[in-house]
Structure 1
Amino acid sequence: MSHPHTEPPTPDQVDDLARRAAAGEREAMEQLLAAVRPRALAVCRGVLPHPADAEDACQDALLNVATKVGTWHGRGRFTTWMHTVCVNSARSTYRRLSRQASPVDVASHPRADRPDPRTTSVVAGTRLDLLEAMEVLERDHPQLVQPLLLRDVYELPYDEIATLLDLPLGTVKAQIHTGRRLTRPLLRDLTVEPR
């Protein structure tokens, strides 16, 4: 028995669902979370290469979307705002997993589902050395991490990043340029030059 294929909602429809969910409509919230889940999982997979880790991060991201939907003020697309929530959730999951990992775990499973960061694309977003570099960059320059990830990993346009972060376009471009300059030496093998 075949099921009719339903088209995913348009960006305008997602924005409308988000506005209604923020206003307290429970059904709109359920529809919104169902609509954005595939995109949220894709964003998390872009940061975390292991499927179970990406799934955990996605669940955290969706919970954050549900509880923080009211902080999206309608500047830019809801999905652009959601990218930031998902990236933050994935990075939080990465930090938590890094803290929980022990040398015994690595020694007993030296090749368990771990991509070689020297041969994994920066653009694919699964470079473990990129995540480590972002952790280092965040210690001294936390304001540079978000614009850099949104541009070089998720390839959002500069103007969308400026809208999302509520910053002037020139500031965003300067932050991305500075972030790239500071991050390059931290990467073991930069195989793709950012645009």
Structure 2
Amino acid sequence: MKIGILALQGAVREHAGLVEACGHEALPIKKVEALDLVDGLIIPGGESTTMRRLMDRYGFTEALRRSELPMFGTCAGLILLAENVVGSEEGHLGKLDITVERNSFGRQIDSFEADLDVRGIDEKAAAVFIRAPHITSTGTGVEILSQVEGKIVAVRSDRHLGISFHPELTDSTVFHQYFIDMVEACVQKELSVEI
């Protein structure tokens, strides 16, 4: 699989390292045209308002709204994938039928690490929470994968995965492999439809 990483802001190199550790090719995406080269896309953490502006400026917003690519959003990437954001009129890409609240675990000094139980994954998943959002509600077709302190921090739908934290700041490939498995399933489904 070729997995793209939106390279406008965030820990692009770290995500690429984990994709490669899973045995797949990672491709930093800096131009909209490059989306045609990949099977799935990671939207990394960063500052969601800045990322939103950069996506608008470089044409990614409309391209990704139309795109059928499987997408994986981490931290700010989760906020961008959400249909609704607390305190905003609407979400940005609207790919996940969820409502997200920014910075709900506190400020930078309140950052923490946790080993999460995740539905569908046998081993614990290492997670780093930095000014992390959480998911306040989920809609139709969204599966809750993990919670911390009673707050939803990981969800998936058919082809989209969203998490509140930074798996790329750990050595764990658990979430990247989970996403790659999702991408492979989507590709297989599309191939079987074509046949």
Same fold, TM exceeding 0.5?
A: no
Structure whose alpha-carbon radius of gyration is higher = 1
Normalised by the length of structure 2, the TM-score is 0.26
Structure (1 or 2) with the greater helix fraction: 1
Structure (1 or 2) with the greater strand fraction: 2
Normalised by the length of structure 1, the TM-score is 0.26
